[in-house]
Amino acid sequence: MARRYSEQEQYTKSFRAKVVLVLVALLLAMLAAKAFELQVVHGARYKQMAEENQIKIRRHRAPRGLILDRNGWVLADNRPSYDLAVIFSETPQDSAHVRRLAALAGVDTSVIAGGFAKAKRHPHEPVKIVRDIPFEAVARIEEQRNWLPGTSIEADPIRSYSSGAMACHLLGYQGEVSDNELRRLRSQGYRPGDYLGRTGVEEIWEAALRGTDGAIFIRVDAHGREVGPVRGKKAVQPRPGNNVFLTLDLGLQAAAEEAFQGVERGACVVLDPGTGEILAMVSRPSFDPNAFAGGINPEMWRVLLEDPALPLLSRAVSASYPPGSTFKIITSTCALQLDCLGDVPEFRPCFGGYRFGNRWFGCWKEGGHGRLDLRSAFIQSCDTFFYQVGERLTIDELSDCMFRFGFGKRTGIDLPSEATGLVPTRKWYDEKYGVGGWTQGLMLNLSIGQGEILATPLQMAAAVAVIGNGGVFWTPHLFLRLETPEGKCLREPRGRMRRVNIRDEILVFMQEAMLGVVEHERGTGRAARVAGVRVGGKTGTAQNPHGEDHALFVALAPVDEARVALAVVVENGGHGGAVAAPIAGKIMSAFFAMDQ
């Protein structure tokens, strides 16, 4: 017998049907609303995203700005480089594919494998795995492009130094940005494989030299293969970096480099004493910055790092030396300024040395110089005379004078890694030997530029310039001006100077004494003579506990209205008058020859 539904059951069934209809209606409404949002409200945006999934953006790297000398001669330029790049997430990593890429690029499989390891850290970006490949390899890879997913050839400008190793420490070099640096520099537009300045002008002016990259939009198929340009997407042209002009004179730099032929280790700085402009700077040994342009070979990098001669070290700015007898310029000036020489005839004559307490301090001339005044002692570089000058000075007086001449602190040159040198003070000696643990005998060594005093060639050149420019310390600098690629000047230097407290008559005396070093028949710097030019100088031979003495020479020319000041250091060179002075003479001869 058929069961009849009760009214309650019929009501419940009807209610459920209505609920289902309402839920279905709600779902349909939600779907309609979502479809409206996707297709109408955000339709344009999602259409763009869909199109972008078919578009590859190829960066068009901007050429780096030029580095030029004061006369417009190019020191650092750019040249085209063809690089093999891969997108790791789109590229097969099996051994067969590695071998195939290696054969096409003409490199060992280990290079490709190492490149893949680097690309893996940035799986969705093009990463260069082989740089500066020959054009023949480019042609082979382009022929096989359809069978090399995720692989591309990028033609980018890379640095070129037309003069090779000339001024390499001053110009610096570039290196690939590291992963750690990328985390900090991505916001500034850096990407994997980019290069940035590591040392020298390249480092200091990185922001100005680096241009703004452009972009090319390319349509790709479902397999990532390029099928042509994207219509309606105009390429963004790269903006080259700005050009940096230096105070350097390429002709004088070449002459200085030539004068240093045969010198294994050493440095020189040539500057304008009236402005602080660096005119030439040499450091030996040198290196070729072109080796870094496309990524330096690991073996070559190891050789550079392990070379005991330290070819990457800028000795002109970052190495410190005892100034030797060149320091007698400071000792003499200090003593004259303090009027502490008294009655010079009271000074003992030189018989080859000087006894202080129970210690004998020898003079460089074993036979002695006899009785001398300050000028004669300076010209002949008599150590015995200057030991007695040192007796009459206190450590506070001498250290204060050294600081005023720019020793013991960075000069402020616009180059990285400048050394401070060392000015030993009373506090320094107290910390080293204890209060009361040292005697006035230390002053004898300091007075002739030995002991603990250390100075860079740059500091020596800047200090001697003070004698030739009327008692002014100009901050040495390389920057001349910054220009846009179109030639618009963006910035010029503001010379920084400070007065050094030296009486005029003392400056004149020191200039004449320095002239005697070069022109007097007994002068120690006769090898620095330049025909028709009044050259003033001071030789130095600094003791070196690690080998042969260092040879030094500082100079001004013309001595009474100086237009050039320089310092020359030859490590293990021996006597300054025999080794460093001739080098200085060649450089100054070139300077005045070019000026005619």
CATH number at residue 195: 3.90.1310.10
**Nearest CA to 172 among 319, 293, 260, 71?**
293
Residues 358 and 473 in one domain: yes
pLDDT of residue 4: 56
Residues 521 and 575 in one domain: yes
Residue 488 DSSP one-character state: -
Last residue of a domain, one of 246, 261, 282: 246
Which residues have CB under 8 Å from 261's CB, separation 6+? none
Over the stretch 158-180, which tens digit does the pLDDT of each residue have? 999 999 999 999 999 999 898 89
**For residue 472, is it within any domain?**
yes
State how many domains the chain has. 2
How far is 584 from 566, CA to CA, in rounded Å?
Answer: 8
Residue 47 forms part of a structural domain: no
Query: Within a domain: residue 307?
Result: no
- Domain harbouring 362, CATH code: 3.40.710.10
Please state, in angstroms and as integers, the Cα–Cα distance from residue 188 to each residue in 183, 207, 212, 243, following that order: 10, 10, 10, 20
Q: Which domain holds residue 94?
A: 55-135+152-246
* Residue 22: per-residue pLDDT: 77
Residue 7 lies in a domain: no
Tell me: do 454 and 334 sit in the same domain: yes
One domain for residues 239 and 366: no
Closest CA to 419 of 428, 432, 410: 410
Contacts of 443 by beta carbon, 8 Å cutoff, 6+ apart: 390, 391, 393, 394, 395, 398
Residue 287 sits in the same domain as residue 235: no
- Would you say residue 306 lies in a domain? no
- Can you give the pLDDT at residue 342? 75
Give the C-alpha separation, 229 to 220, whole Å. Answer: 9
User: Has residue 95 been placed in a domain?
Assistant: yes
Q: Are 528 and 384 in the same domain?
A: yes
Contact in structure between 386 and 377 (CB atoms under 8 Å): yes
Nearest Cα neighbor of 455 from 499, 508, 411 is: 411
In a domain, 101, yes or no: yes
202 and 279 together in one domain: no
Query: What's the pTM?
Result: 0.86
Residue located via tokens 């070099």? 173
Which tokens hold the place of 306?
A: 């392990």
Task: Indicate whether 115 and 90 sit together in one domain.
Answer: yes
Nearest CA to 576 among 554, 553, 556? Answer: 553
Among 246, 270, 286, the domain-final residue is 246
**Cβ neighbours of 360 (radius 10 Å):** 10
Q: How far apart are CA 545 and CA 508, in angstroms?
A: 36
CB neighbour class for 540 (10 Å; exposed up to 12, middle 13-18, buried from 19): buried
* Ranges of residues in the chain whose predicted pLDDT is under 50: 1, 49-50, 52
* The pair of three-digit structure tokens given for residue 554, joined into one six-digit string: 């500082």
95 and 110 housed in the same domain: yes
What are the distances in angstroms from CA 224 to CA 84, 90, 136, 555? Answer: 16, 8, 24, 67
Do 254 and 172 belong to one domain?
no
**pLDDT given for residue 49 in this prediction:** 47
Residue 172 lies in a domain: yes
The helix/strand/coil state of 176 is strand
Distance between CA atoms of residues 270 and 555, nearest Å: 10
Q: Peptide bond preceding 157: is omega within 30 degrees of 0, i.e. cis? A: no
**Are 238 and 269 within one domain?**
no
Do 260 and 231 lie in one domain? The reply is no
What is the rounded CA–CA span in Å between residue 383 and residue 324?
10
Judge contact between 414 and 448, C-beta under 8 A.
no
**Concatenated DSSP letters of 554-585:** EEEESTTS-SEEEEEEETT---HHHHHHHHHH
Q: What is the pLDDT of residue 1?
A: 47
Residue 154: what pLDDT?
A: 85
Q: Which of 208, 230, 246 is the last residue of a domain?
A: 246
